[in-house]
Structure 1
Amino acid sequence: MTVLSRARALVPAAAVLLSLPFTAVSAVSDPGGCSDVKVPASLAPGLPKDQTIYGRLCLPPGHAPDVLQILVHGASYDHTYWDFPGFGGQYSYTRTQNSAGYATLAIDQLGVGRSSHPLSALATQLAGASTVHDVVTAARGGALGPSFDRVALVGHSFGSLTVWLEAATYADVDGVLVSGASHSLGALALAELGPHIRPAQLDPVTAAHVPAADLGYVSIPGARAPIFYYLPNADPAVVAQDEATRSEIPVGVGATIPVYIPATVGIKVPVLEVNGVEDKPFCVQGGGGSLTDCRSDATLHDSEAVFFSPEAHLETTVIPDAGHDLNLQRNARVFFDRATRWFQNHFPLR
């Protein structure tokens, strides 16, 4: 199947064009090796940096390494996806990477959590990529406190799409790791989401976080268990806590999904793609209508390699007994350890 025919089988849509620069950053340290940071950002090249991206910067004990992983969550999540509270840290990607010696910065994407909430239609994939670029620039320039010589992007779900777009557009990062994503988003999974969608103002969990007059911010209560998990390998208490802490979604993100599809061929740095074999939105085995074959590392590679250049040195991994939310399955550590090995191979600490 050709790239064009694969692309036509995916989600329809449109886009806009946007991106670029940075200014200064504010940071408030706490005793745990983590800091809250805020990065001024713009929606498009040449526009004022009138948006703010919030992030949680965590350093390994004793030193600031030269490698930073910028963690980008998916739709209906915020930065806490990467450091899921409680459960003895079992579901914390952040803690795993800090223990391995890497610095992490988990951000709230544009239109989510503690980051700015512009008009929902303006919070597109391209605008998200622009604001992530501003975060990368801040990290390299020392505006977060430490200065990082090597920066990699780590994404989940729709955050992976933003990561791919940012890396291809700006060529400003050294590596890309994505999870819960592929180049075929299943129409059946999207249709299953439909009954759950409602204005964020009408969801008591998200109502206080969105502009009162903007109905373009939505929430998807009740969607997590049936769509994001492989339930036979999930802790019901984790699923319940995840559901209770859902976040808002600006509609601009969903409306511009297809812009990432041709973009990935422009990525010229190492890429690791990791999916759960039962991923409903992005793997055929999940039953959500995706065309991506996640039976094995090799079949995932065969499905995805056509979308990348040789310079990406694409590596693929399939996690058994896991669905879309790899961080929150009982075997999350399998994904965390795979990510650590990839970083140690491509970004050994100096």
Structure 2
Amino acid sequence: MAITSRSMTLLLEQAVLALAVLTGVATGVAHAQSPDRTQVERLTFPVPGPCAGGCKVVGYLYHDGTPSGRPLQVLVHGGTYDHQYWDLLELNGRAYSYARYMVRRQYTVLAIDQLGAGESSRPDGDALTVDVASAAVDQVVRAMRGGQNALGLSFERIALVGHSLGSNVSIHAQGSLRTPVDALVSTGLGHVAHELPLPEELVDRALDAPYWHMTPAERTASFFHAPEVDPDMVAYDNARFTHPISRGIFLTAMARTFEPAATKVDAVNVPVLVQLADHDVLFGSAYADGEAALWSAAPEVTVQRLENIGHCYNSHLTRHESWRGIASWLGRVLARAHEM
């Protein structure tokens, strides 16, 4: 079998924890087979956006056997990450891949690189706002719902799952564009107003350039709850995930986070699961009271409080609390959607 850049990435990650992985993958659909039998296929989606020659979003489809006929989760990562936030490497005998965990539970999973990150297009950083990013996510979901994708697959049941800035984008997509999903999962983002502990130098840097980077020290302080994270994971994560954040997304997200009408949190009209963690210094479960009431148009809202976990759930030793909660909730909600 030909060596694709995706399979090479998996090999490099297992061998060198503290080095960033090279990506540069050819356009089209690439195939890889992982040791756990999960198949991974690279898909490219044309999407609207301010890119010369048109924007594209790259996603990786994870499945075991035939991908169609199973519910689909479309995963949207947060700032500094790419799609591999959902497919972290196995480290020190522990599996950290949310995508492969869900494949074993009979889901097909599409993890995308958001515009501005990974292999997807990088528009001008001021033009790349939450509105633009959400329109791209909406187009990807519609392509998977209707079969307008390179594999010609269509899915009857779809859940949109976001993390942090990815939750912000996913909420705006469903609330403003009526992205055709049956359920929405928001992790690492709350809407009850509170002061965000962002260092002044970080904010200054975010305002200075169309794209800006978080430092390893800023990521460590914001993303991880040290007692529940393997130090090797922190080192790997800080080295691997160095994608810049667009000034446009940062400004629009920060301006709207605590304004339900602007975020469209009050316009989402599908069942919603919100997960908030006790040691998330950005959007912690201490602010969970009042969260459900803000989703005023959703037919059902469940707020789960996670214990002993920081902002980036998938990196933590306690990650399975989040994963089990999502799997259980989606199993119930999507089964009901299928019956209807």
**TM > 0.5 fold call:** yes
SS at match of 2:33: coil
* Correspondence for 2:270: 269
Runs (5+) with no aligned partner, structure 2: 1-26
Q: Name the aligned partner's letter for residue 92 of structure 1.
A: S
108, 117, 120: which one pairs with 1:103?
108
5 Å-filtered alignment, 1:54-133, equals 54-87=58-91, 88=93, 90-133=95-138
1:37 aligns with 2:43: yes
Cα displacement (A) at 1:195: 7.5
1:194 aligns with 2:202: yes
305, 309, 326: which one pairs with 1:339?
326
C-alpha separation in 2, matches of 1:137 and 1:310: 22
Query: Are the aligned partners of 1:174 and 1:269 in contact in 2 as well (CA < 8 Å)?
Result: yes
* Correspondence for 1:242: 237
Cα displacement (A) at 1:144: 4.4
Q: Name the aligned partner's letter for residue 39 of structure 1.
A: F
Change (3 A) 1:125 1:100: same
Q: Name the aligned partner's letter for residue 113 of structure 1.
A: G
* Correspondence for 1:217: 211
* Correspondence for 1:7: none
Cα displacement (A) at 1:197: 4.3
* Correspondence for 2:312: 325
SS at match of 2:273: strand
Query: Are the aligned partners of 2:188 and 2:311 in contact in 1 as well (CA < 8 Å)?
Result: yes
Cα displacement (A) at 1:276: 1.0
SS at match of 1:77: coil
Query: Are the aligned partners of 1:196 and 1:221 in contact in 2 as well (CA < 8 Å)?
Result: no
More moved, 307-316 vs 120-129: 307-316
SS at match of 1:122: coil
C-alpha separation in 2, matches of 1:193 and 1:179: 26
Query: Are the aligned partners of 1:41 and 1:49 in contact in 2 as well (CA < 8 Å)?
Result: no
* Correspondence for 1:279: 280
Q: % of aligned pairs identical?
A: 29
* Correspondence for 1:150: 157
SS at match of 1:269: coil
Once the two structures are superposed, residues 304-349 of structure 1 have per-residue CA deviations (whole angstroms, 9 ceiling, x without a partner) of: 1221125331001111111111111111011111111011111138
Change (3 A) 1:188 1:63: closer
SS at match of 2:290: helix
Change (3 A) 1:186 1:192: farther
RMSD over equivalenced CA pairs, Å: 2.5
SS at match of 2:269: coil
Once the two structures are superposed, residues 76-106 of structure 1 have per-residue CA deviations (whole angstroms, 9 ceiling, x without a partner) of: 1111100002325621110111000001111
Runs (5+) with no aligned partner, structure 1: 1-24, 200-213, 286-291, 293-299
C-alpha separation in 1, matches of 2:167 and 2:232: 26
Change (3 A) 1:245 1:54: same
Cα displacement (A) at 1:28: 2.2
Query: Are the aligned partners of 1:60 and 1:98 in contact in 2 as well (CA < 8 Å)?
Result: yes
